[in-house]
Amino acid sequence: MLKMRSKIALLTIIALIAFSVVGCGTTAQDEEPVKIVYVEWSCATAASHVVAEVLESEMGYDVELIPVGSNVVIYEALANRDADVTVCAWLPVTDGEYVERHADSLENLGPNMEGAIVGFGVPEYVTIDSVKEMNDYKHKFDQKIVGIEAGTGIMINAEDAIVDYNLDFELIESSDAGMTAELDRKIAREEWVVITAWSPHWKFSRFDLKFLDEPKNSFTDEEHIDTIIRKGYGDEQPEVVEFLDNVYFETEELARAMDLAQDEGATPVTAAQEWVAENEDIVNSWLQ
């Protein structure tokens, strides 16, 4: 009888150890964070943090946010499996070349926002309305176009526009933050300035701006912002991908998320938390 009890106890211990090993493996897989990669633009930062907040607070997932300095790095990270998803793919033009380059390694879930615009932007007090007029007033602009990071889609489009319109301007490399800071300085003095502009962006609610007409379409008329995952991620995390497929912003909704991040003392995390609290109905529609 004592030998029998010893055997039963030993078998129980072995079973518990085996269960523990299997269980630990499952837990590790479940706890693998959702890796969201985004370029450090205001719209991309806002959308990525809102999605991360819902995944964490409403769905219980761990999330790793991966900010990068250039659009091209987003798709390299997805193709190399260093990231799982981006919610800031500007298509068909701005990011089109990079998406096409890695097409075999990516899956596009479709737009999460439509009606995005890119082009040259100026303050409303600037008296021209078309890119064709820029050369006539080049000295008022100091013959400079204030841009963002080199190699981004909008900078490539801007270079195309300079050639297409034979603009006697220099395209200045900067960043989203640097460009908006220069815009702020120029507007404070009511000086003329032209920037590489895109909407949605919080600068359009903070400043009175307009896009210049651009008849040669060096920039596209209108873009959409898509959600793209690395190929195979849907098989690994079907619940996450179903949620990502449901995410959709109206332009004013994403603009609100960006505005919140500009409040004094705000961070992208606190802005996303506030946006989610304000938009319970929208969030619930994503979770259905």
End residue of a domain, out of 211, 232, 255: 211
Query: Token pair for residue 233?
Result: 């991620």
CATH number at residue 158: 3.40.190.100
User: In which domain, by residue range, is 171 found?
Assistant: 117-211
Is 25 contained in some domain? Answer: no
Q: Are residues 137 and 200 in the same domain?
A: yes
Residue 30: predicted pLDDT: 58
Structure confidence by residue, pLDDT tens digits, 118-138: 999 999 999 999 999 999 999
Structure confidence by residue, pLDDT tens digits, 170-221: 999 999 999 999 999 999 999 999 999 999 998 998 899 999 999 999 987 7
Residue 13: predicted pLDDT: 40
Q: Are residues 103 and 163 in the same domain?
A: no
pTM, two decimal places: 0.80
Residue 206: predicted pLDDT: 87
Instruction: Say yes or no to pLDDT of 235 above 90.
Output: yes
Structure confidence by residue, pLDDT tens digits, 94-122: 899 999 999 999 999 999 999 999 999 99
Residue 153: predicted pLDDT: 82
Is 13 contained in some domain? Answer: no
Is 169 contained in some domain? Answer: yes
Q: How many domains is the chain built from?
A: 2
pLDDT top residue among 96 and 8: 96
Q: Are residues 110 and 53 in the same domain?
A: yes
pLDDT top residue among 2 and 41: 41
Q: Are residues 162 and 126 in the same domain?
A: yes
CATH number at residue 253: 3.40.190.10
Across all residues in the chain, what is the average pLDDT? 90
Q: Are residues 240 and 110 in the same domain?
A: yes
Is 270 contained in some domain? Answer: yes
Q: Are residues 85 and 135 in the same domain?
A: no
Q: Are residues 100 and 181 in the same domain?
A: no
Q: Are residues 121 and 105 in the same domain?
A: no
